[in-house]
Structure 1
Amino acid sequence: MLRGLYTAASGMMTEQRRHDTVTQNIANINTTGYKQVNSVKHSFPEMLVSLVGDKESPTPKRIGKLATGVFAEESMSSFVQGDLKETHKGSDFALLSNLGLNDPATGDPIPFDASGKYVNEDGEVIYRPQAFFTVMDNNDQVRYTRDGGFTVNAAGDLLTSQGQRVLDSDGNPIVLPAGQSIDSLKSDAQGNLVASDGNAIATLGIVVVNRPQQLVRDGNGVYRADDPDAADIRELQAGDGAEIRQGYLEVSNVDTAQAMVDLLSAQRAYESNQKMIQYYDKSLDKAVNEIGRV
């Protein structure tokens, strides 16, 4: 009986975390470049239940497996391309990323599914590479984002909406010439910025992360790479399948309808586990206070 109590309690904690994850997604529906987060559940190690043998059949008999609960293993970001919203502002930039990857064994293009995932014959999960703007935070640490809503401060530094400095292809902060208006900037599909007088300013620093699931969320749609080698980060090259769209912003890729379904599902599952705990509590109360008196 206590095993069932613990199983129901673990289910409640898992559904609470799932509820919190979906709520976070819904709260960021209007956040530029936000990537949906999905909660991954995993069962506790299963136990093999056996029947102890008697004198006639000393060999134990296997009855079957018994699950001992569930837990929220991790929260994974979905880097699926979000829709582009036209803003008609020269300071807004969107990354249109449709990168591919070849199978190292056969050399053929990998057929990713709609979620940007592919599972090979060995069960290995491969994710579609993604392109990101490179930025620098206040501690001079390189970060990655898909939020291209840029601004300029009094010193001419090109900044993100969170105040981080936008880097060029050489890893240096981009500084606009004196008197240059950000709205009059011109950019081509490769991110080459040109001033209003026709002079080249810089090239937006864009990288390709071949293993985007190795990135760690740093808040406000910004990611960091604790292990750049594991993330396999490289510079964007011509023909990679990614381009810059000036005057556009990439909106959140959260599926609103599915998020509401997941929210209600998590709530119902939480209530079901809660009722099971109440049932076990009443059963234990009866066993101790009524049957125990006999």
Structure 2
Amino acid sequence: MDVSSFVLLSHEQALRRQLDIVANNMANTSTVGYKREQALFHEYVETAQQAPVDDARKTSFVLDFGTVHDTQQGAFQATGNPLDVMIDGAGYLNVESPDGGVVYTRAGFIKVLQNGDLATSGGQRLLDENGRPINVPTDEQSRLSIAEDGTVMGANGPLGRLAVTTFGNESTVDPRGDGLLTGTGGTMLTQAQTKLKSGGVEGSNVEPITETTHMVEILRSYQTSQRLSADLADMRKKAIDRLSKVG
């Protein structure tokens, strides 16, 4: 296999990666708080020591560098539940992970566990700005509300404040596959910086028409790459046939 075939192979691998990401975006069109992903690729230039001409010494390959989230905010979806919230702007709700650490989510479905702790729809406890769960006394659970700054209000006053963390580099935020994300280097918003909308959640920011168009473009690019591979194979075959007739 010559260099041109390796270049085409790296391109086709990148296209396959893009197709996987687009398919995942489309599968999460209705997932609350989901942020569409985009592929990131880098150019890797390999320089040969010798080549027939100087311009042929450098060869560019496509390297899969990772993914990045589209931080554009999704639309507000009213649920009628006063405990459900949507983060207005950047940031993620802090959630307690099974190992005692902190994970994050944009899905603002909130419920009260049997022991009175506030939790996500999956049962993971939400954390306050001090990293502790927010507990609601039994006699106050029917009169709960969440203020714009994240303060959880009971019948007798505030019970705590939902922590919201932002990340300067969104590439450090990785989905776990269960609606939660991990991240490093985050900054917790202050009470004045926090803005929540209660009574609803944030919808997915995926646009099906855009993703479908992108998928068609990827498939066409892959077909073009396959035609180039076939043309290169024909050229090699003709070259071998001609060389075999020399002499």
TM-score, with normalisation over the residues of structure 1? 0.74
- The answer to whether structure 1 residue 90 and structure 2 residue 82 are counterparts is yes
Partner of 1:151: 111
Partner of 2:136: 176
**1:172-229, Cα deviation, whole Å (9 max, x unpaired):** 11222125446x421111111122x33322211222333333223322332223xx4x
Q: 1:262 aligns with which of 200, 214, 219?
A: 214
Question: Contact 1:9/1:277 (CA < 8 Å) preserved in 2?
Answer: no
TM-score, with normalisation over the residues of structure 2? 0.87
- The answer to whether structure 1 residue 200 and structure 2 residue 152 are counterparts is no
- AA in 1 matched with 2:134: I
CA RMSD between the two structures: 2.6
Deviation at 1:256, TM superposition (A): 2.5
C-alpha separation between the residues in 1 aligned to 2:187 and 2:61? 41
C-alpha separation between the residues in 1 aligned to 2:113 and 2:144? 15
Partner of 2:10: 10
| Unaligned residue ranges in structure 2 (runs of 5+) | none
**1:10-48, Cα deviation, whole Å (9 max, x unpaired):** 111110000001111111111111111100122221648
Sequence identity percentage: 23
Q: 1:81 aligns with which of 73, 78, 82?
A: 73
C-alpha separation between the residues in 1 aligned to 2:29 and 2:119? 23
- Runs of at least 4 residues off by over 6 Å: 48-52
- Secondary structure at 1:69 match in 2: strand
- AA in 1 matched with 2:150: G
Deviation at 1:66, TM superposition (A): 4.6
- Secondary structure at 1:76 match in 2: strand
Residues 129-140 of structure 1: pairs in structure 2 closer than 5 A: 130-140=90-100
- The answer to whether structure 1 residue 237 and structure 2 residue 237 are counterparts is no
- The answer to whether structure 1 residue 249 and structure 2 residue 201 are counterparts is yes
- AA in 2 matched with 1:237: T
C-alpha separation between the residues in 2 aligned to 1:210 and 1:51? 44
Partner of 1:43: 43
Q: Residues 167 and 252 from structure 1, CA distance in 2 versus in 1: closer, same or farther, beyond 3 angstroms?
A: same
Deviation at 1:286, TM superposition (A): 4.3
Q: Residues 79 and 65 from structure 1, CA distance in 2 versus in 1: closer, same or farther, beyond 3 angstroms?
A: farther
| Unaligned residue ranges in structure 1 (runs of 5+) | 53-60, 98-129
Q: 1:216 aligns with which of 167, 174, 182?
A: 174
- AA in 2 matched with 1:158: L
What is the count of residue pairs matched by the alignment? 245
Partner of 2:120: 160
More helix by share: 2
Question: Contact 1:85/1:250 (CA < 8 Å) preserved in 2?
Answer: yes
C-alpha separation between the residues in 2 aligned to 1:208 and 1:236? 7
Q: Residues 179 and 68 from structure 1, CA distance in 2 versus in 1: closer, same or farther, beyond 3 angstroms?
A: same
- AA in 2 matched with 1:78: D
Question: Contact 2:18/2:39 (CA < 8 Å) preserved in 1?
Answer: yes
- AA in 1 matched with 2:15: E
- Secondary structure at 2:45 match in 1: coil
- The answer to whether structure 1 residue 281 and structure 2 residue 233 are counterparts is yes
C-alpha separation between the residues in 2 aligned to 1:192 and 1:282? 69
- Secondary structure at 1:22 match in 2: helix
Question: Contact 1:49/1:62 (CA < 8 Å) preserved in 2?
Answer: no
- AA in 2 matched with 1:88: G
Deviation at 1:67, TM superposition (A): 3.9
